[in-house]
Amino acid sequence: MDLSLFFAGTGGSVPTARRGLPALLLRRGGDRLLFDCGEGTQRQLLRTVGLPDVEAVYLTHLHADHWLGLPGMLKTFDLRDRELPLTVHGPAPLKQVLELMRVVYGRVRYRLDVVELGPGDAVARDGYTVHAIGAEHRGPALSYALVEDARPGRFDAELATRLGVTPGPDFGRLQAGETVGGVSPDRVIGPGRPGRKLVISGDTRPTELLAVAAHEADVLVHEATFADEEAQRARETGHTTAREAATLARDAQVRMLALTHLSTRYGGREVRDEAREVFPGAVVPRDFDTIEVPFPEKGDPELIRWDATPAARAPR
């Protein structure tokens, strides 16, 4: 099943000509989940991959740069005659905030649920779970981990045939757990394999809790608002430096580290270079870039630059 992260906004508190405010679209099969929704998010999506009927929105916290694009998006969905329900998740006081914002987006005709999450809460979905992790920022804040369900082990068709199992329906019975012709599933099916894991830090200081949640993650998307020269400011404001994020990624043994939420003082290269001194595989996505996340046996996560895609070259 396809799994990818589309970076609709990679900037920090202030948008620039090159970086929009935080928004990350996670695509898994037919599911579309939006993590944060900074001002201008729907425009960023419309310019590129289109505005999907996302099933759920997950806000990391309620600072304005992470959610002010949501009221306009909620209204757009209504004007487009959306029928699917939508759930917005986030830390308290999310319900109070969205109720106050009804004066902006008005009544919507689709079902809109608002669910407040706290550290340790989990949202089970078909084939995976989204876990809320306590973050260390100014005020209530969450990180999120998407963890896929475990997968069955690899089926050895060649061995099954040698043992006398006829290819076809009998293979399916074996994979469903039945014994066929005296051949038990454990003889031809390898050990179970873990699903993929993606972790999204939101705004936070590096924490041991996040490091534990990110252990052996396929992709860790971590904020890097500052470079190391601003380490004191990062501590004072509840943010993370590129070096700190890279250290966490190295210790957690993640496969790929993607740095986002860059301050306007950085172009990106200096943040990337600082991180790579600690974690050589660190990347700094630009707006509209994508990270494709295959199953581990099929390859490593890959950063795909927007300007290298056919969609970017298509006339508008």
Which residues are known to be catalytic? 65
Tell me whether the omega of the peptide bond preceding residue 52 falls within 30 degrees of 0, making it cis: no
State CA 91 to chain mean position distance: 17
3-state SS, the chain, equals: CCEEEEEEECECCCCCCCCCCCEEEEEECCEEEEEEECCCHHHHHHCCCCCCCCCEEECCECCHHHCCCHHHHHHHHHHCCCCCCEEEEECCCHHHHHHHCHHHHCCCCCCEEEEECCCCCEEEECCEEEEEEECCCCCCEEEEEEEECCECCCECHHHHHHCCCCCCHHHHHHHCCCCECCECHHHHECCCECCCEEEECCCCCCCHHHHHHCCCCCEEEEECCECHHHHHHHHHHCCCEHHHHHHHHHHHCCCEEEEECECCCCCCHHHHHHHHCCCCCCECCCCCCEEECCCHHHCCCEEECHHHCHHHHCCC
Amino acid at 42: Q
Residues contacting residue 267 through CB under 8 Å, at least 6 positions apart: none
* Distance (Å, whole) CA 108 – CA 156: 52
CA nearest neighbour of 112 among 65, 142, 77, 66: 77
Neighbours of 229 (CB within 10 A): 11
